[in-house]
A and B are shown apart, each in its own frame.
Chain A
Amino acid sequence: MNVQAKSVGAVRYVGTRQPRKEDARLLTGRGQFTDDVRMPGMLHIAFVRSAVARGRIVSIDLDAAREMPGVQAIYTQADLAAVPVQMLSFFFTNIESPVTLLADGRVACVGDPIAMVIAESRAQAEDAVSLVEVVVEEETPLVTIADAKTGAPVHPDRDDNIAAEMGDEDALEAIQPLLDGAAHVVSTRIRHQRIAPSPMEGRACAASPDGAEEMTVWMGCQSPHLAARYLAQALGMPTGAIRVVARDVGGGFGLKNIPWREEVAVVVAAKLLRRPVKWIEDRFESLTASSHAREQDVSLSLALDEGGRFQAAWCDYACNNGAWPMGEDANIAVHMFMWPAYKLPAYGFITRGWYTNTMGLGGYRGPWAMESLVRETLLEKAARKIGIDPVELRRRNLVYLTDQPHTSSMGIPVEDITPGECLEKLMANIDYAGFRREQAEARKEGRDLGIGFATYIEPTGSAGSMAPMTGETVQLRIEPTGKVVAMLSTHSQGHGTATTMAQVIAEQLGVAYEDIAVYEGDSAIGAFSPGAAGSRQGVIAGGATWRAAEMLADKVKVVAAHLSNASVETVTIEGGMVHIAGAPEMSRSIREIAEIAYGEPGRLPEGAATGLEAQYRYQPPPMTMTSAAHCCMVEVSAETGFVKILRWISAEDCGTVINPGVVEGQIAGGLAQAIGQVLLEDMPYDARGNPLAATFKDYLMPSISDVPDFEYLHANTPSQTIGGMRGVGEGGAIVGPPTLVNAIADALAPFGEIDELVLPLTPARVLDVIEQRDVSGTRAHLDGADVAAVVEETNPAEVVAPVMAAGIDGDWNMVLKTPMGPQEMVAHFDADGAVVSGYLQAPEGRQDFSGGTLSGSQVKFEMKVEKPMKITLKYDLQFDGDTVSGKCKMGMFGSATVTGERV
């Protein structure tokens, strides 16, 4: 799709640096954030939170707190239970380990909310909070992944601490020989620290009960539509009963994808109290009690042939889910997106999420970013080991456009990715050889410079492949005044969607940018969309806006043609004027057309609707890929271990660029987070489960002096979507960390390899490599922490299943643990000798299978499914009396466990 050719007006808007429509109010302090909401009679909420990481609540004494001035109510879980709540994951599946809004008899992490005090002012609420006495019978907390492997289950209703498990350990049998027989094998291990997302504005929620059943909720969120749908579903309210409004929001980053315990508790409190209430998360809560992110322990081995071509890889991934994650997560996306941009014949993995007594994990910009970090850092390590230049090693393995269509070893098809082309564009714009010369000269002076690269692809604009990712709706109208109003399903937490969408409208409709008003941020506006999640709004809302504006332009042309007795093809719109080719005297302003369309229906074409309106809901392809190559140059001080970033160049391909300033802002923001992750940010816990970075004095966010001026190159390969955009919201946070780590590793190469990358790379940890000793104390600390891990597998009981005397015929209730939550179904089996047939019945429908095999008490069968993708499910079940357990291999999704029992 050629953007230039599609242009309607002479004035170009798409691709230009329009000043942002949002800036005037935000930069002059006139934004409308949730804390700016004031309602008559509104009360304020403060939470009583657990100071211990794990234990049974013996008592909660509220008497003294209730006597405090201004206190109107204090709720514990016993009170909130009056309103049944079913919390949901980001995939809108039921949270497995029942999470209550407030602690229900037990606390599972420091910061666990225990009670909510509702008072006339926030200060009064906090005064009362300090008088609530909670007695907890403390238990030994599980803090690390190693703890989780051996300790008693965090959730007493579960058998172990595995929140989710995917992949297949047995697949290592096929991969291991490839590793053993390869010319080169390189391995790495990364321990990614825990991140506190730390948006500038913490979480915030104000709820006002209106009428009998309705509720208006103001919330700092990433999509008012999604929040409204979540709240309605979680609270069992009619969908239309909840309206969510979110005007300005100071950053989301994934943390505000879905309402979580506190926000839902605020809505429930408003329901119970029948009064407007507000909760504004403070910074202490934001750091210690908002969902955390990352904290992974990952090992990756890669086999290469003599020429450096990838042969096979194996990954063992674990993440610390905390006690109450926003969805039990083994992060399957890490494995899905690790290799599609590279030619790798064989890949296997095991991936697990572990429960611990720490704050739960939530989404965070590029939640699967570990795939790029572990792959790209290992790749450059391999380059050093084999003696091939890291750029050359990529060239030998990347999937270029000429190699496509291509299908990854896990079955992901790619047909228009451009990481190789981005890399070539990057290399054409930097003097790589010159830097290497400079680096060599600097070494002689005792200065250590380094250069690092990273290439990656990213799935963006996801729609229809997993709930609740959907299309976007745009409603456009030209007012009788000639001004254009857009009602969008989008939401901006800094994304500038009002700006970019207005640019698309201005371009497609032929009106001035200034004459367009954009309304968003309200579930009463537009239609359902998940908003800012997964780099999707520019792609999907952009496409919807593009098409809706075209439709509206067509309407204007039909009216203008009719009025001038001309053919539609002769009509053009430019700068708010409607022209007829060859008849300049017939030019009319859009306003004139609009006045006729609204006020003089008799002058419209026969049968034409009055007014000038258009609506379009765009359902794009399920996934649109973005690519990039970055490079960064650093100087590392061997004296202090400090890292100074000298230059950083980004070459990204996000297809059609609507506004380069907005695109670059997204990349820069992601890179700032990358710099924070690599060098500064850390939310450690002590052995008793206390978070150790409770203020910004200890949680080091990158500041303006830590972030360099980035340089940008834009490749512009249009995607298959309307408008040709590709998502760019998360890329910087994904490709940034490996780029910076690689630059540091390159600078450190003469001293040694970073054998195990423990983040953040503090100055002390940099000295560990330079001096080849444990300056930072990290090794001693980790060796101590890993001791627990040695004692794992406490229950290796090898059960020899007897031949099934009772037979397998009949119905079985089975649960399949998929990455998007557990799937319940009824399985029906009919055994005819060694041949098994039957069906699986789920809420979505019934699917038959045949040709299965029965051997002893083992049944194997296959089933092809279309959703979420075309894959073949391979079941391998072991029956034991009235119970069944086993695995289901799900193509790229790895293996899921199956459990069940006879109906």
Chain B
Amino acid sequence: MKPAPFDYVRPASVGEACRVLAESGGGATVIAGGQTLMPLLNLRMSQPFVLVDINGIPELKGVSRVEGGTRVGPATRQADALEDETLARHLPAFITALGHVGHYQTRNRGTIGGSVALGEPAAEMPATAVSLGATIEITSSARTRSVPADEFYVGPYMTVLEPDELVTGIVYPDWPDGHLVLFREVAQRAGDFALVGLVGALALEGGAITRAGIAWFGMGPTPIRARQAEAALVGASLAGIDAEAVARAAVADTAPFDDHHASAEYRRTVGARIFARALRETLDLRSAA
């Protein structure tokens, strides 16, 4: 379990990093926390010619407030994000989901950008970005662009990111104060990728839902936005919500698969249940408050 030989560069700026990526012609891979990449390198499933270490680029780290939202630097450690007061105040769903990512030890090294950019379909952070309506900021030597999270993922571990591009920020839009967090997952062991899970946010006003953003993880080749459920919820009064019916609508958008840990049927069956339960408990919490 030794990686194939590679060159290692540790650029000090985004520009320098992008230049290396461009010059490598697709043969470079970015490393941040290495929690997924290192095993892939050791298994030789990933064999880059150049490893671009972005840990020395200060501008890629940290959390900041931007117009209408919160921007998270991709090289921000998961452990640091979990302790961040700005995120706790503005993005409670993000914090809830992040607490389920890996383990205490892996979060010390793992980064937000690594998790978002990897695109593991059963992981929490890609689905969180999709559900909250985040935008992925992408830069290359040639151009800079922003891609909505729900257009970023195209398949398992596949994104629209080109080989010469670098994720430079993830911007999560603000949700109304007091919005509710929707989160539930089932994983065989603590810290595992989920068999099935969902994450999202609900905003309420005057006893009715005004905004809903919900996404599944572990329910298809990418994080999957529960569009039908969102549509059913927005505008609905709390009294009028049939949690089970919304859950069925949510599952209707999914495309889960069989693996030796769980069947697609299990994922659909349990997915509907945890969706309905999450909805009921979240809304009950609200009505009790």
Contacts and interface: CB of A to CB of B under 8 A. Distances in A.
A680 interface: yes
B274 interface: yes
Contact of A777 (B1, B3, B191, B258): B258
Nearest to B186: A640
A775 B273 CA distance: 14
Nearest to A123: B2
Interface string B149-176: 0000000000000000000000000000
A641 B273 CA distance: 12
B43 A764 contact: no
B43 A703 contact: no
A775 B269 contact: yes
A680 B261 CA distance: 9
Given A680-B189, A700-B192, A762-B262, A283 B1 contact: yes
Contact of A695 (B2, B43, B186, B274): B43
Contacts of A284: 1, 43
B265 A775 contact: yes
B49 interface: no
B130 to A, nearest CB: 22
A763 B1 contact: no
A131 B133 CA distance: 46
B43 A700 contact: no
A697 B192 CA distance: 8
A99 to B, nearest CB: 26
A126 B39 CA distance: 15
Given A130-B4, A640-B273, A680 B188 contact: yes
A552 B142 CA distance: 84
A282 B270 CA distance: 36
A693 interface: yes
B19 interface: no
A771 B258 CA distance: 19
B195 interface: yes
B64 interface: no
A705 B265 contact: no
Contact of B266 (A126, A702, A764): A764
Contact of A776 (B5, B42, B266): B266
B260 interface: yes
Interface string B24-44: 000000000000000100111
Contacts of A642: 186
B269 A693 contact: no
A122 interface: yes
B188 A700 contact: yes
Contacts of B10: none
A703 B190 contact: yes
A106 B277 CA distance: 55
A282 B186 contact: no
A698 B192 CA distance: 10
Contacts of A283: 1
Contact of A682 (B189, B193, B260): B260
A619 to B, nearest CB: 45
A89 B1 CA distance: 29
A767 interface: yes
Given A684-B260, A695-B39, A695-B43, A777 B192 contact: no
A763 B189 contact: no
Contacts of B258: 777
A543 B261 CA distance: 46
A767 B269 contact: yes
Nearest to B264: A777
Interface in B177-195: 186, 188-193, 195
A763 B273 CA distance: 14
Interface in B239-289: 258, 260-266, 269-270, 273-274, 277
Nearest to A281: B1
B105 to A, nearest CB: 12
A127 interface: yes
A653 B43 CA distance: 45
A737 B256 CA distance: 31
Contact of A640 (B5, B260, B274): B274
A238 to B, nearest CB: 37
Contact of A127 (B5, B188, B261): B5
B2 A122 contact: yes
A157 interface: no
A700 B259 CA distance: 14
B4 A127 contact: yes
Contacts of A695: 39, 43
B46 to A, nearest CB: 13
Contacts of B5: 123, 127
Given A122-B2, A282-B1, A703-B190, A763 B266 contact: yes
Contacts of A680: 188-189
Interface string A694-733: 0101101011011000000000000000000000000000
A639 B271 CA distance: 10
A774 to B, nearest CB: 8
Interface string A108-141: 0000000000000011001100100000000000
Q: Which of the listed residues B44, B190, B261, B277 has the most CB atoms from chain A within 10 Å of its own CB? A: B261
Contact of A130 (B42, B44, B269, B270): B44
B43 A705 contact: no
Nearest to A703: B189
Nearest to A776: B263
A343 B42 CA distance: 55
A693 B260 contact: yes
A62 B128 CA distance: 49
Interface in A763-789: 763-764, 767, 771, 774-777
A48 to B, nearest CB: 13
A706 B4 contact: no
Contacts of A842: none
Contacts of A697: 193
Contacts of B277: 639
A639 B43 contact: no
A692 interface: yes
Contacts of B43: 284, 695
B154 to A, nearest CB: 22
A764 B186 contact: no
Nearest to A692: B260
A764 B263 contact: yes
Interface in A655-705: 679-680, 682, 684, 692-693, 695, 697-698, 700, 702-703, 705
Contacts of B193: 697
A774 B258 CA distance: 13
A545 to B, nearest CB: 40
A746 to B, nearest CB: 22
A470 B199 CA distance: 60
B217 to A, nearest CB: 15
A775 B266 contact: yes
A698 B260 contact: yes
Contacts of A123: 2-3, 5
A420 B42 CA distance: 52
Nearest to A44: B2
A465 B189 CA distance: 43
A639 B270 contact: yes
A682 B258 CA distance: 15
A763 B262 contact: yes
Contacts of A682: 260
Contact of A763 (B4, B44, B188): B188
Interface in A725-772: 762-764, 767, 771
A692 B186 CA distance: 22
17 contacts: A122-B2, A123-B2, A123-B3, A127-B4, A639-B270, A680-B189, A697-B193, A700-B189, A703-B189, A705-B189, A762-B261, A763-B262, A767-B266, A775-B263, A775-B266, A777-B263, A777-B264
Interface of A: 122-123, 126-127, 130, 282-284, 639-642, 679-680, 682, 684, 692-693, 695, 697-698, 700, 702-703, 705-706, 762-764, 767, 771, 774-777
Interface of B: 1-5, 39, 42-44, 186, 188-193, 195, 258, 260-266, 269-270, 273-274, 277
